[in-house]
Amino acid sequence: MSEILKDFNENGYVVLKGLLFNKNLINPYKHLKEDILLESFKLKKDKIGGSLIGNLNVFPGKYSQIFFNALLEANLNKVIVDLTKKNISEFDISAVGNLNEQYKYNQHFHTDGNFTKKYLIVNIATEDVSEVNGPLEIAPGTHKKEIPYWKFIFRKKRLKIKLLQGDVIIRSNVLWHRGTKNISRNPRFMMGFLLINKKDKLPEFNFHNNSEIKVFKNIFDSSAIGRIKESFYTRFSYLHSTARLFKSLFS
């Protein structure tokens, strides 16, 4: 068993240090961030779900293909085969991203879906991720079996993932994690690809025919009700956690 597979099986994630540390990507890294911020500044933030917590979804547009090609050139396929016994061509692939705005809130710990539909998330550090600009915080090993929230809160081991530009982290979607508060001066972006078992014979790439960057709402709806829910999630987080705890006891 390779060290990568061993680490992934034990912890639910693996970090590939410097996989995309490449001088040919210096300009794409720079221009990607600039273009995302330009799109973000156009938004009426008070109308967008996710702006209160400070996490907005991003579709990376034309940069999706650039960075996907770079991953292939860096032999990501070999890693995916090691982890899953499948080639990348056996997955549907979606390009995603997350913009973590400064001086907002921590997310609550969660998983991205459940055990009935497991998939891989490949995140690229398109900029350095430090202790202060909102690193991903994970609970290692929580991908092994499905557990209710009331059991999760007793797990003590949690780890903030600090990365350098060009590092790549691959994680299971059922690994418990959260985005943390960005207390730096600047928004922090993280790019990613979802690798989902394909539905048809040919893999689907949802980034081939769309060159426009899009910044849009996160998990919260932009309606009045959605804004109330987001306020409850952030400003009254202790009430949200208490309600979630009691719900998990009876589900």
Q: Where are the domains of the chain?
A: 3-249
What is the predicted pLDDT for the residue at 224?
87
What is the predicted pLDDT for the residue at 1?
55
CB atoms within 10 A of CB 165: 16
Residues 108, 235: contact at Cβ < 8 Å? no
* CA-based nearest residue to 216, from 12, 44, 6: 44
Under-70 pLDDT residues of the chain: 1, 199-210
What is the predicted pLDDT for the residue at 202?
56
What is the predicted pLDDT for the residue at 178?
97
- Cα four-point dihedral sign 198, 98, 147, 87: positive
Between CA 115 and CA 51 the distance in angstroms is 29
What is the predicted pLDDT for the residue at 47?
76
Per-residue pLDDT tens digits for 150-193:
999 998 899 999 999 999 999 999 999 999 999 999 999 999 99
- Cα four-point dihedral sign 16, 22, 26, 29: negative
* CA-based nearest residue to 170, from 1, 7, 24, 26: 7
Task: Name the CATH architecture for the domain at 3-249.
Answer: Sandwich (2.60)
pTM (2 decimals)?
0.93
What is the predicted pLDDT for the residue at 48?
86
